[in-house]
Amino acid sequence: MVILDGKKTSTDLKNEIAEAVKQLKAQGKKVPHLAAVLVGTDGASMTYVSSKVKACELVGFNSTLIELPEETSEEKLLQEISKLNNDIDIDGFIVQLPLPKHIDEQKVIMAVHPDKDVDGFHPVNVGKLTLNLPTFISATPYGIMELLERYNVETSGKHVVVIGRSNIVGRPMSILMSQKRKAGDATVTVAHSRTKNLKELTLQADIIVAALGIPEFLKGDIVKEGTVIIDVGITRVDDTTKKRGYRIAGDVDFETVSKKASYITPVPGGVGPMTIAMLLKNTLQACQNK
Ligand code: GUN
């Protein structure tokens, strides 16, 4: 069993990005600049955004964090987005999700200029991804593809079962792996909460992408010997033995599933760190596209 080490791979990627920034600087070119908008004080969102800003510093990007109060109106947020769209120094920006309930998330996603949409959430970029055209691929699926590629995991002709159909992970993952591309050419099944015969499907799968957001959902008894396991879950679960009062749990029961797996991503240290590295890669791309 091989651990797909997202921590190490993301460090390699960040070193490569830092090297590219050094070269841009040496050539007197612009350094990439990422902005992040955070509305409210959700604990997990604050942690993710601060990790993204820290990662920018690490690779030599400029970064701007815009923190807005929970009660910010939709109109005010759309104004902030418009400012970022028009700011020539900002190469790319993200609005951290989820947003407070009074704000229409889709409206916000559509307000981000597609050329600065380094999250790859805008319908124009999702459309390009679907057509296998160059675009910003959303960071989590992009990170998984990169991990599969760098570990030379064979995907061609394999049966992939993606559990979860979210716009951010499950859906794009299923599209990417079915495409003619590196870590693609697979036969893909998308399973979700209404799927009736999940066990039947997972027992047939060569690769399982667990992205449903239920801690330790996937157990060893519904996985066949030699399966490649990608765990996208990052749920905070109460744990009084921890100083901070919680632990991060994946969607996979590592204990039982790792005994059957050929490759497996751990949580933490698997898909999570890759997501941040790919956001940086998209931002470098946005800067170079100019
Ligand atoms: N919330 C959870 N994942 C993401 C992400 O990749 N981007 C943004 N903007 N918000 C998120």
Tell me the CATH number at 257. 3.40.50.720
Q: What is the pLDDT of residue 94?
A: 98
| Ligand 1 mean position, distance from CA 168 (Å) | 8
Say whether the peptide bond before residue 98 is cis (omega within 30 degrees of 0): yes
- Asked, for residue 121, whether it belongs to a domain, the answer is no
- If asked whether residues 199 and 243 sit together in one domain, one would say yes
pLDDT band, residue 96 (cuts 50/70/90): very high
Any atom of ligand 1 within 6 Å of the Cβ of 125 = no
Any atom of ligand 1 within 6 Å of the Cβ of 253 = no
Give the tens place of pLDDT for each residue, 199-243: 999 999 999 999 999 999 999 999 999 999 999 999 999 999 999
Strands (E) across 50-183 are located at 62-68, 92-95, 159-163
pLDDT band, residue 246 (cuts 50/70/90): very high
- If asked whether residues 164 and 259 sit together in one domain, one would say yes
Give the tens place of pLDDT for each residue, 30-48: 999 999 999 999 999 999 9
Q: What is the pLDDT of residue 170?
A: 98
Residues ≥6 apart with Cβ < 8 Å to 229: 207, 208, 210, 218, 223, 252, 257, 258, 261, 263, 264, 265
- If asked whether residues 104 and 188 sit together in one domain, one would say no
- Asked, for residue 22, whether it belongs to a domain, the answer is no
Q: Which of 134, 138, 87, 130 is nearest to 109 (CA)?
A: 138
Q: What is the pLDDT of residue 84?
A: 99
| Ligand 1 mean position, distance from CA 22 (Å) | 28
Q: What is the pLDDT of residue 264?
A: 99
pLDDT band, residue 181 (cuts 50/70/90): very high
Q: What is the pLDDT of residue 63?
A: 98
pTM for the predicted model, two decimal places: 0.97
Parent domain of 40: 28-113
- If asked whether residues 75 and 197 sit together in one domain, one would say no
CA 171/CA 165 separation, integer angstroms? 5
Tell me the CATH number at 36. 3.40.50.10860
- If asked whether residues 98 and 148 sit together in one domain, one would say no
Please return the burial class of 255, using the count of CB atoms within 10 Å of its CB with bins 0-12, 13-18 and 19+: exposed
- If asked whether residues 39 and 89 sit together in one domain, one would say yes
Number of independent structural domains in the chain: 2
**Cα dist from 40 to 113, 152, 238, 256, whole Å:** 23, 41, 22, 38
Q: What is the pLDDT of residue 254?
A: 98
Name the amino acid, one letter, at 52: K
**Cα dist from 210 to 230, 231, 266, whole Å:** 6, 5, 12
Q: What is the pLDDT of residue 244?
A: 95
Q: What is the pLDDT of residue 207?
A: 99
Torsion, Cα 162 134 113 276, to 10 degrees, reads 50
- If asked whether residues 98 and 156 sit together in one domain, one would say no
Q: What is the pLDDT of residue 95?
A: 98
CA 172/CA 193 separation, integer angstroms? 17
Q: Phi and psi of 33, rounded to 5°?
A: -130, 115
- Asked, for residue 128, whether it belongs to a domain, the answer is no
| Ligand 1 mean position, distance from CA 200 (Å) | 32
